[in-house]
Amino acid sequence: MAGRRVGIDTGGTFTDAIAADGAGGFQVAKVPTTPRAPAAAVLTALQRLAPAGGGPVDLVHGTTHATNALLTGRLGRVVLVVTRGFADLLAIGRQERARLYDLEPRPPRPNLPRSRVVEVRERLDAAGRVLEELTTAEVERAAAEVAKRRPEAVAVLLLHAWRQPRHERRLGRALRRLGVPVVLSSEVAPEVREYERGVTTWADAGLRPVVGPALRLLDLALTEGWGPGSCLRVMRSDGGTCEAAAAAERPVNLALSGPAGGLAAARSLADARGDGAVLTLDMGGTSTDVALLPAGEPPLAPIGVAGLPLLCRGLPLHTVGTGGGSLARPDAGGALRVGPDSAGAEPGPACYGRGGARATVTDAHLVAGRLHPEEFLGGEFPLRPERAEAALAELGRAFGLEPTAAAQALLEVATTGMERALRRVSLAEGHDPRGLALYAFGGAGGLHAAWLADRLGMARVVVPPFAGVFSALGLLAAPPRRTFARSVLAPLPAAAERRRLFAPLVERARAELRAEGVAASRIRLRRVLELRGEGQAGGFALPEGPDPLGRFHAEHERRFGYARRDRPVLLDAVRVQADGPVVSPWRPRRLRRRTAQPRFFAAAHLPETGAGRRRCGWYRREELAPGDRLAGPAVVAEYSGTTVVPPGWRARVGRFGELVLEVKR
């Protein structure tokens, strides 16, 4: 890749962009997302940082297009082909309840009416042996039935096809003559668990007519506007990138494309700083993503969207519907609720002055004095305090609160929701957060981070440079990557047999990266065993290596407090991750020891001040240099975000430009 390098992350409210100059410097841009035409905002942001006509660009794109399509059910018209007798497989799903005590559970269902399911006469047993052969006449009949239903894409899900794909492949050859995308479960998810494999196949087929054309349109616009040497890469859920053509061919791998950039950037900065495990908080305009990233390579696990499980691996994160644009309202019981509904980019929070009238988290911060109306987006996007106050006044009437008190209540509820999410990924998984740093980014992450750290007993918060566009920066730190897995379902075999199981996955991963121009000598491989004890419903993954049995029992004891060394250990699946080279964006700078001086002072409502206001120093982050120090209460504003340093906390600028907030415990 030889062009100008730009990362662009499309969020629910803003599209964030960052360009690297190759010498450790960056330019950033933030433009409103255009939900009806996502490529328009991407091209607007790109034009600001790398104007057309200035030579080719290497664009890495993180997108929520696939995520939003799955959340809303706005997918292509899919026809599902299944083994006879299994037409209701996706409708039945699993018996587990997401909320055990919900009296009226509404299990998630794929958007697939029964009328668009075609059954075929064929059958394999669990070992892949043929019980009923798929005949040529049956293939032709099935293809004719599918054609009658006018599909935009076809998903093929035959029982036990992950063991023996021959029947699916025969159907696939016939169905492709219809001229629409055909997705085979044995190719997209060659793993056990029919329901999860079926959902993954349906999702990939449904996304093809939605995501594929959008990516091809963006790729064409990039080539026409910035030259044929330009390259479009797309962020995958697993924290790596792939070329646009590969992304359009397997769009289900983009289900968590957007959040993955922030996690990749956080791990990259943590490694540069020498931090081990860290908690991350990515608060954008629509939602907040939290994760616990262990030291080293982040683990991958099957992901889910809208309650639907997908057999494609992604970085571990938990999402809550709280962001800067989250709307506040009284619920049916009269309690204050914040999110998951969002004002989005259109009309946006009330303070944007674009027609929004309901109170949001951003409006509450403005009324509380934690945002300055003339400093938002570096002064490019002035806020309207009177609109925010009117929205908070309307909300407050439902609770008998003045606008300022309503703002404080709204922020308390929003912070509590994020606290629960952080506890879920740390304490609930057996990790004590008190010794960890909280990496806070996204446009609103720094506004809540210190108070969240207080609630969890944490003493250190790291707000990265360019925090509001940090996910876009992570796109530039992500390697080309392929991740492939295959079920095994057998007792843990010896090393030689494991090498045989890994071999076809390694060959496929290497071939796909070489096809994208990655030299064979620069491909890094990571082999993973997905293990569980006999009789257990689930397990965990361990890197391939010596004594996997002993390491499994040791990890089981660490996680659950016991180990059953008398029980056999089963190999559920093998997984291969292949990475191309990556260039770290971090360049350390010389530290100086200086007490920074605020540009001005302003009063703000803080939780520590009750109903009153506290005088805070306001700093512009671009005027701070590595080694600078300041004490709370203070507000540090930058182009893409704002950080609050509460009373009792101190802040310093690290050697990579990160803002480190610390408090004595």
pLDDT at 1: 44
Residue 311 — pLDDT band, cuts 50, 70, 90? Answer: very high
Whether residue 187 contacts residue 159, with contact meaning beta carbons closer than 8 Å, is answered with no
| pLDDT score for 108 | 85
Alpha carbon distances (Å) from 628 to 547, 617, 641, 652? 49, 14, 19, 6
Taking the C-alpha atoms of residue 648 and residue 477, their distance in angstroms, rounded to an integer, is: 34
Residue 45 CA to residue 255 CA, distance in Å, equals 23
Q: Beta-carbon neighbour count of residue 138 at 10 Å?
A: 18
Phi first, then psi: what are they for 406, rounded to 5°?
A: -65, -40
* Across 130-144, 152-166, 628-642, least confident range: 628-642
Q: What is the mean pLDDT of residues 454-480?
A: 94
Sequence-ordered alpha helix ranges (H) in 77-193 = 89-92, 136-148, 166-175, 185-188
What order do you get walking across the sheet with 481-491 strand by strand? 481-491, 569-579, 524-533, 540-543
Q: How many residues does the chain have?
A: 665
pLDDT, tens only, 177-195: 999 999 999 999 999 999 9
Nearest to 348 by CA among 320, 383, 372: 383
283: β partners? 288
Question: If you write DSSP's letter for every residue of 639-655 in order, what string do you get?
Answer: TTEEEEE-TT-EEEE-T
Residue 22, pLDDT score = 67
Q: What are the tens digits of pLDDT across the range 608-631?
A: 666 567 888 999 998 999 999 999
Q: What's the CA gap between 193 and 214, in Å, rounded?
A: 31
User: How high is the mean pLDDT of the chain?
Assistant: 91
- Maximum average pLDDT range among 330-334, 367-371, 651-655: 651-655
pLDDT at 369 over 60: yes
At residue 611, the pLDDT reads 58
2-6, 233-237, 519-523: least confident range: 2-6
pLDDT score, position 2: 54
CA 251 to chain centroid, in Å, comes to 14
| Per-residue pLDDT tens digits for 636-650 | 999 888 999 999 999
Element holding 125 (H helix, E strand): none
Q: Is the pLDDT of residue 231 over 70?
A: yes
Question: What residues contact residue 601 under an 8 Å CB cut-off, 6+ apart?
Answer: 615, 616, 617, 618
**Is residue 291 predicted with pLDDT exceeding 80?**
yes
- Can you list the domains of the chain with their CATH numbers? 4-70+210-254 (3.30.420.40), 73-206 (3.40.50), 481-579 (3.30.1490), 594-662 (no CATH)
Q: Quote the DSSP letter at residue 7.
A: E
Strands 437-441 and 278-283: parallel
Pick from 65-74, 281-290, 434-443: least confident: 65-74
Residues of the chain with pLDDT > 90, as a percent, come to 69
Which segment of 299-308, 329-338, 426-435, 637-646 scores lowest on mean pLDDT? 299-308
- Convert the pLDDT of each residue in 199-217 to its tens digit: 999 999 999 999 999 999 9
Q: What is the pLDDT of residue 610?
A: 61
Distance from C-alpha of 122 to C-alpha of 134, rounded to nearest angstrom: 5
Reported as a single tens digit per residue, the pLDDT across 542-597 is 999 999 999 999 999 988 889 999 999 999 999 999 999 988 888 888 777 778 78
pLDDT band of residue 67 (cuts 50, 70, 90) is confident
pLDDT at site 523: 97
Residue with the two structure tokens 């796909």: 512
Helix axes 403-425, 445-456, angle to 10 degrees: 60
- pLDDT tens-place string over residues 244-275: 999 999 999 999 998 889 999 999 999 999 99
